[in-house]
Amino acid sequence: MKNIFLANSLKEVPEIIFDVFFELEKRERFFYLLSSRPNFFDRFKANWGRAKKMYFGPEPVNYFYSLLFLLLLPFLCGFYFFALLPLRYKKGVREIICLGWNEKIIFSFLAPIFRIKMIWLELPDNNYRKKSSLFLFFYRACIRRAEVVVFSSLSESTFRNLKFSPKKIIKIIPGLKLNQAGCQENIFSSLAKAEQSNFSKKYFTVGVITDFLPPNQIENLFQAAKICLTVIPNLQLIVVGETDGVASRDGQEKKLGWLAKKIGISNLVWFVRDQKNLKKWLEAFDVFVVVDESSKMSNLNVVLKVMNSKLPIVGFSDCGLDDIVLEKKTGILVVANNNETLALAIMELYNNKRLRSSLGENAKEAVEKKFNLNEMVVQIETII
């Protein structure tokens, strides 16, 4: 049994990260958790009962809060020195895994004292550009003491462009949890089946799954769809969005509805809010287009689910997909903000059924052999 200390101050942690930690526990990795976020805390407490709520200081969202955090840093280090003391010498903890910005800096001062290995998980959701130069200065200094796990080549290049110099950068491609139970049949499942009957296979269906939040390429896709009509008269576009009624997302959906009408394709665009029955919608698609530009972990997880459904994917290069969507092997990558190249890719897949089938088969095989949760856990276990 190996004891590991886990610290988190992130508001939202992707489901795949929970899956990794729970799988590691099955492999005799024993976690002690400190978290300032109730949802993260409650999730782990329910499974382990070894979670404690702790405060890591204000989130450095701007210069003022960055300065406030750095002023509090000596007191936070002093507090966590005594929190770490029993874990190190009574529980035998020799590794710290940090997820959020604050704890990474706090424990970079304490890890050398206790001779504990520090591992930073740098999720692709992190936006370094929005942090103040003051905070990034300390972040850059502290990262030299850590082994950093990144989840895409885009994140890796971002580190190098920002001149971060960690002890070691390790790239691990996210993996999908296979053999998940299918969603339970309920009223929503019936709704999905009923709506699917409207999307007859006499149509060539391009599917999208998005949270509607920018930056995205939905407008580019709408323009491409209009171009495609000259070759694909039976085209239809299904946009599956978030099920939660968040005001900003509602506004984005309405704006996109008006945009589709303005472009003249409103009759072939369907907006659906039923991600809980994702598998049923994937079965209705012929081609899947990745419209989200940011390579968030949740987006990558959706792409892996699509690949596991044997769907050919069209995505955009330099948006974090290059490690998963391999050109003409598991999908097609095109240049962003160019509706003509996007339209050409969709039309190529429409005209070449054999290519669609080949890309879909290759994508599923890649998930089963390479981009699965087991492979991801093995690599993280090796680092630990």
Highest-pLDDT range among 37-41, 137-141, 364-368: 364-368
How far from the centroid of its chain's Cα atoms is residue 25's Cα? Answer: 22
Once rounded to an integer, what is the mean pLDDT over residues 210-234? 90
All residues at 6 or more sequence positions from 38 whose CB lies less than 8 Å from its CB, including other chains: 53
pTM of structure: 0.87
All residues at 6 or more sequence positions from 243 whose CB lies less than 8 Å from its CB, including other chains: 273, 274, 275, 276
Q: Which of 43-57, 88-102, 266-280, 361-375 has the lowest mean pLDDT?
A: 43-57
**The pLDDT of residue 304 is above 70:** yes
Once rounded to an integer, what is the mean pLDDT over residues 141-162? 88
All residues at 6 or more sequence positions from 68 whose CB lies less than 8 Å from its CB, including other chains: 57, 58
Distances in whole angstroms, Cα of residue 334 to Cα of each of 43, 144, 313, 371, 380: 39, 36, 11, 22, 31
Q: Which CATH class is domain 2-171?
A: alpha beta
Q: What is the structure's pLDDT at 207?
A: 94
Q: What is the structure's pLDDT at 275?
A: 64
* Distance, CA of 50 to CA of 45 (rounded, Å): 6
Residue 95, H or E segment: strand 95-98
Once rounded to an integer, what is the mean pLDDT over residues 205-219? 86
Q: What is the structure's pLDDT at 295?
A: 75
Number of Cβ atoms within 10 Å of the Cβ of 234: 13
Domain locations along the chain = 2-171, 187-369
Q: Which of 32-36, 47-51, 101-105 has the lowest mean pLDDT?
A: 47-51
How far from the centroid of its chain's Cα atoms is residue 116's Cα? Answer: 28
DSSP 8-state class, residue 49? S
Peptide bond into 215 cis (omega under 30): yes
Altogether, the residues listed in the chain come to a count of: 384
Give the tokens for residue 328: 């003409």
Once rounded to an integer, what is the mean pLDDT over residues 139-165? 88
For the stretch 19-29, pLDDT in tens is 898 899 888 88
Whether residue 220 contacts residue 337, with contact meaning beta carbons closer than 8 Å, is answered with: yes
**The pLDDT of residue 302 is above 70:** yes
Residue 119, H or E segment: strand 117-122
For the stretch 239-288, pLDDT in tens is 988 655 554 566 777 888 899 999 999 999 998 876 667 778 888 899 99
Check residues 187 and 4 and name the one with the higher pLDDT.
4
Q: What is the structure's pLDDT at 192?
A: 46
For the stretch 171-211, pLDDT in tens is 999 999 987 544 444 433 444 444 555 544 589 999 999 88
Q: What is the structure's pLDDT at 79?
A: 94
Q: What is the structure's pLDDT at 243?
A: 52
Once rounded to an integer, what is the mean pLDDT over residues 138-150? 91
* Distance, CA of 215 to CA of 132 (rounded, Å): 21
Q: What's the whole-number average pLDDT of the chain? A: 85
Paired residues of 4 in beta bridges: 31
Whether residue 14 contacts residue 301, with contact meaning beta carbons closer than 8 Å, is answered with: yes
Q: What is the structure's pLDDT at 182?
A: 42
Its sign, for the CA torsion 373, 376, 382, 384, is negative
* Distance, CA of 115 to CA of 103 (rounded, Å): 17
Q: Which CATH number fits domain 187-369: 1.10.260.40, 3.40.50.920, 3.40.50.1100, 3.40.50.2000?
A: 3.40.50.2000
Give the tokens for residue 67: 């300065």
Same fold, 2-171 and 187-369: yes
Q: What is the structure's pLDDT at 244?
A: 52
For the stretch 62-76, pLDDT in tens is 889 999 999 999 999
In the structure, what pLDDT confidence band is assigned to residue 37 with cuts at 50, 70 and 90?
confident
Terminal-to-terminal C-alpha distance of the chain: 13
All residues at 6 or more sequence positions from 223 whose CB lies less than 8 Å from its CB, including other chains: 263, 339, 343
Give the tokens for residue 161: 């462009």
Once rounded to an integer, what is the mean pLDDT over residues 106-111? 94
**The pLDDT of residue 338 is above 80:** yes
DSSP 8-state class, residue 92? -
